[in-house]
Structure 1
Amino acid sequence: MAAIITRFNIDAPRWDQNTFIGRVKHFFNITDPRTLLVSERELDSAKVLVESCRVGTVPPGTTQEHLFYAKKLYDSAFHPDSGEKMNLIGRMSFQVPGGMAITGFMLQFYRTVPAVVFWQWVNQSFNAIVNYTNRNAASPITVKQIGVAYFTATSTALATAVGLNLYTKKAPSLVARWVPFVAVAAANCVNIPLMRQQELINGITVTDENDNPLGKSKKAAVKGITQVVISRITMAAPGMILLPIIMERLEKYPFMKNIHFLHAPLQTVLVGGFLIFMVPVACALFPQRSSIAVSQLEPDLRESIVAKYGDKVPYVYFNKGL
């Protein structure tokens, strides 16, 4: 029988976040697509339970399993900085169903320019929502900046995809199948920094080990955003690089030529298989609570911290976003 508890540190990681395996387990938990089926009422109840636990008022009869599940729902649906409920499409738990559908069609319909343009536009629209939803909420962004980021990233993806599509007309078909990945990677390098440009302009809040604010750092923002770009490209890479090879070989079999209308659904399902594992693995590449040495910070911030704390604060911490 589950033990009933009266006090529980709800924000203590269930798994060691200093290890890659611990982070993978954590992100498998919060990127679970099944959380998308949970009702709004249950999500709100989970938030109430988490917040109650934080102030030490766990309802009588609450078990540790109840708290673990409530925290899973909370982490999957609420922003770690603001505590606000995230839109469903922007949640990392939507990456598998959303990503598998869009990526599957990008990989299937890569031969004609209109198809390339349409699916790259859909993908960048999806990415813009995800990037905005998972930004560092302490750095607000204006509607104009969102528009510029969206337009620039979409233009980059379209220019890359259409240009390479035309350039690879005479190349082996497998090379043409890899064009969507190159376009996605290029767009990620533009979309994420632009969507989070306020962090690069004004810096993001860094804290000591006990979450006490120490100031804002642009270098911390650069590190966090770079890690997110790498994670997003890694997330897409296996499915968009290996799946074209698999499909290239499968399509040589006679039975595949007879079911051409099933190629897109098949690729979509296979992409989902990759993403089920790659979403948590890519998110886990770097700690969510990232750190940077005080010695690597901007001179004024570094001097401020050293003047106040001496060598007692060797590292500062910040939320890198997703």
Structure 2
Amino acid sequence: MTAATCLPFSTNASDQRFSQDTFQGRFSRMLLACDPYLLIYTESQIQNSKQILLDYDAGLLKSKANAEYSKLNITKEQTHVLWESRRIVESAIHPDTGEVIPRPFRMSGYVPCNGPICVSMVASSSTLPILFWSWINQTQNALVNYYNRNASSPMTNETLMISYTAAVGSALIVALGLSTLVQKKFPPKKAKQMMKFVAFPSAVVASSLNCYVVRSPEIETGIPLMDCDGTILLNETNETSCIAAKCGVESTTISRAILQAPVYFVPSMLMSSLPPLRNLIEKSPKTRVPITTFMVLTSFGLGLPATVAIFPQISSISSKDVETKYQHLINPKTNKPYDVFYYNKGL
């Protein structure tokens, strides 16, 4: 992931730093997008990066020496600067609203803010801690889902509150239901051991419901479709596609569900299967907490970009699968109907 491996720079949403046709390319892109280092940039630095992109679009590129370059003659070093500027802007500014996303709810802030919550959930072995951390976890997840949705369709505060209440309420019901079931089915000592495994299924169900419920208004209002250049189609009449919105919400929901697996399974599997780690913990039980914390955060840090990368953010959909109003649109470049459309599924 160096300047030498970058694709030619472009500001089109459908063009990315790495090929989005492969999982490796999507993972590379999301690994950079989830980089916590992005959180240190101030709003003025973000706006400066945005200005660099505007200068590029205007045909000018300002270097450190304040010289001006044609955007048709950009060096590898300048290409790297442009991609980094775009990464900084996209990490903090919502592409639909143009508003700055609060740091805890950016994808780059997901691991440092949600990671400690996951550690607490994994370590919980009784009902009250599980319920408390489930509430904190799903509240943070709901806000991440909200701030990283496709915001081209408006969402009222009332709808947001209803969605939040339903998402977090379902999370607590699932956690409470599983906790109660375990305590009734097993003796106290066994139940306490089993409670550690309650967090995983409750997190899977709750995170899935959370994502789907918070973003379900998109399905009702629809999202715009774009051509390969990122131009919104039928924009003059504010037309949207509910079918594309449903595909986007469902794919994001699936990735949120899969994300729980590396967080809950990888650390325990490695700690029990690797002799050096197992022996260290047996000799010094106090090391269990820091080792578990490190393993969970590492699994989360790699699992997040990996699961988000399962589906490309700018996804495609066949013209045969969308609403009739789009199926017969003529592509001005070919004078033929579009074969495929694109849409932003959100993160």
TM over 0.5: yes
Tell me the TM-score normalized by structure 2.
0.81
1:223 Cα offset (Å): 0.5
Deviations 1:68-96 (A, max 9, x none): 22112112111122332111111101111
Offset at 1:241?
A: 2.5
Q: How high is the TM-score relative to the length of structure 1?
A: 0.87
Distance 2:289 2:167 in 1: 25
Pairing 1:130–2:144 present: yes
Q: Is the aligned partner of 1:228 residue 2:257? A: no
User: Runs in 1 of length 4+ with deviation above 6 angstroms?
Assistant: 306-310
After TM superposition, give the deviation of residue 61 of structure 1 in Å: 5.9
Aligned partner of 1:48 in structure 2 is 51
Separation in structure 2 between the aligned mates of residue 28 and residue 244 of structure 1, nearest angstrom: 23
* Aligned residue type for 1:185: V
> Cα offset for 1:318?
0.4
Highest RCO, 1 vs 2 (Cα 8 Å, sep ≥ 6): 1
Cα deviation for residue 264 of structure 1 reads 4.4
Q: Residues 252 and 165 (structure 1 numbering): CA distance in 2 closer, same or farther, change over 3 Å?
A: farther
Deviation at 1:164, TM superposition (A): 0.9
Matching residue of 2:73: none
State how 1:1-322 maps to structure 2 within 5 Å.
9-11=10-12, 12-59=15-62, 60=67, 63-109=78-124, 111-169=125-183, 170=186, 175-210=194-229, 211-214=231-234, 215-246=239-270, 250=278, 254-257=282-285, 259=286, 263-298=288-323, 300-305=324-329, 312-322=337-347
Counterpart-to-counterpart distance in 1, 2:141 and 2:82: 31
Contact 1:78 1:84 in 2 (8 A): yes
C-alpha separation in 2, matches of 1:254 and 1:136: 48
Aligned residues: 312
Q: Deviations over 1:230-251 (max 9, x none)?
A: 1112222111133344567859
| Counterpart Cα distance in 2 of 1:256 and 1:146 | 48
Gaps of 5+ in 1: none
Q: Which moved more, 1:288-297 or 1:192-201?
A: 192-201
CA distance in 2, matches of 1:307, 1:44: 35
Q: How much does 1:166 deviate?
A: 2.0
Counterparts of 2:130 and 2:170, CA distance in 1? 13
CA distance in 2, matches of 1:223, 1:95: 23
